[in-house]
Chains A and B, each alone.
Chain A
Amino acid sequence: MSKTITLNHITKIEGHASLNLKIEKGKVQVCELSSTEGARYFEGILLQKRFFEAHEISSRICGICSCAHTICASMAIEDALNMNVSEQTVHLRELITLGERIRSHATHLYFLALPDYLGYESALSMLPKYKTAIVRAIKMTKIGNIMIRVIGGRDLHPVSNTIGGFLKLPSNDSLKKLKADLKSIKPDADATVKLFLSLKQRNFDRKVDYMSLTNPNKYAILTGTLKSETSNFDKKDFHDHINEYRAPYNTANFLVKDGNPVRVGALARFNNNSSQLSKDARSFLKKSGLKLPNYNPFNNNLAQAIELVHCIDYSIKLLNSMEIVPETISRLRQIPTKAGHGIGAIEVPRGTLWHEYSIDDKGIITAANIITPTVQNLKAMEDDIRNYVPLVLDMPKDKVVIEIEKLIRSYDPCFSCSTHFLKVNWK
């Protein structure tokens, strides 16, 4: 008996992707996951732009992680210019990153992942019966948005962060209010963990190396080294470890670390850094019985839920010790420029994001390279599907499709971001 499953335009993910599956006698013969997002050639558009435009232009790569691109690009350019930023700037950037993670996880968990588990086609059709849950999600995304707006100036494609610091600083009053807002959604994050703990999760352990930033001093967000089970390296050495290649059917790249696929994201961060989570997050982790290191990709949802708790706790902790001091951001257009090469690597909702730039002595970008979390996860995702499908083949075809989609969604892929291109010689 042979089965062909073609999922054209998988729904409830960010961007456009499709899957081609051919199954014969219970064995997967063809499994091709591909992004069908239109090519935007961002890395080409960035060339010959000025260094101070990199973060504003690359922000447009993605709506849901626009803060991530803005901050990562800023840090890569600062690295190229050998420029240090103030501790206050680092903390404000951390807060924006955490705000983005709160809204991104809440959106993914409730609007994209949860309907599968509760047997609904969408969160919209869940509204009559699960209004409390949906309102909870909206409350959390709202506070995440406020965090980004208060510090970044706008909730999507924030404007205040720039190379070297912030063009405009938030007022102490607005940060105080933000702290109260964050406290108000703590019960919602707790309820989210409880909800995801109550969902029955399939056992699907498949050992794949995981990678995330790690930092001896804190649950890594913006700084640290790249840790996995088999290596721990500095971001500047990433070309020694990370390789990209293109599958003939794909519009996005596959990526391997030291020749093997990797997984990135919330679960990878747990595998590396769980002891640095906040006290409440650690206690949920303990309660969950989640065995670490964990190799079940479905558990990424639970890890995201627990991360919500941590993000709120850590943000409040940061805000507790924060008193905004006025800083004069030098008029950036006058920054003395010199030729350089810089890399940014930060933890964003879906995993580690990389930006790499070269600039010449006039401050013009001469090379740009951006690697998003989804690109890093793509190979593991495809291998997972290949291995998972035989386990659910006894189900009716429509159920098999739901199971596959559940697996894909647990990675929280972002296909708009993942369209990243590599030089391929073709004739």
Chain B
Amino acid sequence: MAKNKMTKKSTAKIKIHKHIMAKTNQKKNPKKNKLKVAFFGITGCAGCQLSFLFTDEDVIDLLDKIDVVNFPFIKEKAKSKSYDITFMEGLVADEQDLKTLKEVRKNSKILIALGACAHTGCVPAYRRFTSLENFEHLLFKKKKELADLNPGPISEHVAVDFTIPGCPPDKEEIKYFIKQFYLGKDPRNYEDPVCIECRKNGNECLLDIGKPCLGPITRGGCNAVCINGGFECWGCRGPTKDANMEVMIKLLLEKGHSREFIIERMRIFVGTKHDALEKYLKELKGEAKT
């Protein structure tokens, strides 16, 4: 699956934004010039689409600013198949997902990977690291159109313009993205590690008390919600740009966690996403065998 390893980049980004600018700056008839937005889900849990729907009263305000033309979870199928912005939830797990994704990509000016499945493949992509004997008993004969694929993020198959990370994605971030597009501006992701927000919230450091918290290598922007709730960070928002995997692994070993556990824990949300991580984990695995 060499093709799957490649992450495609969108080249048309600047052009697209000019288009969005042009569209949103037309103030003459804002109702007619609303952005056409679609929400789709391929294999996933619908939680990311719900995160939009659960923006409480704000959802009404957001719906006033954009024109949601397609949203099969809560709407009949639309006749129009051309979208300015598409939020795509889910990972590619079978042939049908891939077909839908490619079609949606073709019809969307901007494609946003919404949530961890679309971004990293999340928990379901862990099948890549699961030995066949673990799920052999679950396999069954399927129609050709539904045949399984190597599970993974949508960026392995199509160009992705923006990503809203997280399992589930942060509702504030979804609102922020829509507002930015409405204003004709580029949305930006939060890049600092989870620890920054976590410290600000005054939480006790879970690593200090021996828990396998991945906060130091994980992209924040979630307000450290898991640690606020007493649970360690699993890394669902993906690694920061300068994540030091080697030190993180060492630290977890020092805290007494087994190599097998560290490998699984670090892979579960972002295993498909970080080449350096795989390198370190392979080294660790080599050690584990000897």
Contact = CB atoms under 8 A, between A and B. Distances in A.
Q: Do A and B bind each other?
A: yes
Contact of B264 (A49, A153, A159, A162): A49
A36 B59 contact: no
Interface stretch (B25-33, B50-58, B193-201, B278-286): B50-58
Contacts of A14: 46, 73
Given A60-B123, A107-B53, A134-B60, A122 B231 contact: no
Interface in B201-234: 209-211, 225-226, 228-231, 234
Given A36-B96, A39-B148, A124 B63 contact: yes
Given A47-B134, A141-B53, A251-B140, 12 more contacts: A38-B43, A38-B148, A40-B43, A40-B151, A45-B127, A49-B264, A63-B168, A64-B47, A122-B71, A154-B226, A157-B47, A421-B140
B144 interface: no
A153 B46 contact: no
5 contacts: A39-B43, A39-B138, A112-B74, A124-B63, A155-B54
Contact of A44 (B49, B135, B141): B135
A28 interface: no
A61 B117 CA distance: 12
Interface range on chain A: under 10, 10 to 19, 20 to 34, or 35 or more?
35 or more
A426 B91 CA distance: 27
A426 B140 CA distance: 7
B74 A142 contact: no
B275 interface: no
Given A60-B122, A153-B226, A159-B231, A41 B73 contact: no
Given A38-B42, A63-B46, A251 B146 contact: yes
Given A45-B130, A426-B141, A63 B231 contact: no
A158 B44 CA distance: 17
Contacts of A155: 54
A297 interface: no
A62 B167 CA distance: 11
Contacts of B63: 124, 127
Contact of A50 (B49, B122, B261): B261
B135 A45 contact: yes
Given A424-B141, A426-B141, A44 B59 contact: no
Interface of B: 41-51, 53-54, 56-57, 59-60, 63, 68, 71-77, 90-94, 96-97, 122-124, 126-127, 130, 134-135, 137-142, 146, 148, 151, 167-168, 209-211, 225-226, 228-231, 234, 261, 264, 268
Given A44-B138, A251-B146, A11 B77 contact: yes
A122 B74 contact: yes
A355 to B, nearest CB: 16
B50 A63 contact: yes
A168 B48 CA distance: 25
Contacts of B167: 60, 157
Contact of A251 (B51, B123, B142): B142
Question: What does DSSP make chain B's interface, helix, strand, loop or mixed?
Answer: mixed
A45 B126 contact: yes
B76 A138 contact: no
A404 to B, nearest CB: 14
A124 B141 contact: no
Interface in A53-74: 56-57, 60-64, 66
The 4 closest A-B pairs by CB, nearest first: A153-B229, A63-B47, A44-B135, A167-B230
B229 A36 contact: no
A124 B48 CA distance: 18
Contacts of A294: none
Nearest to B57: A138
Contact of A15 (B46, B229, B234, B261): B46
A153 B230 contact: yes
A331 to B, nearest CB: 8
A56 B43 CA distance: 19
Contacts of B126: 45
B211 to A, nearest CB: 8
Contacts of A421: 138-140
A121 interface: yes
A167 B225 CA distance: 13
A224 to B, nearest CB: 27
Interface string A121-150: 111100100010011001001100100000
A124 B74 contact: yes
A158 B74 contact: no
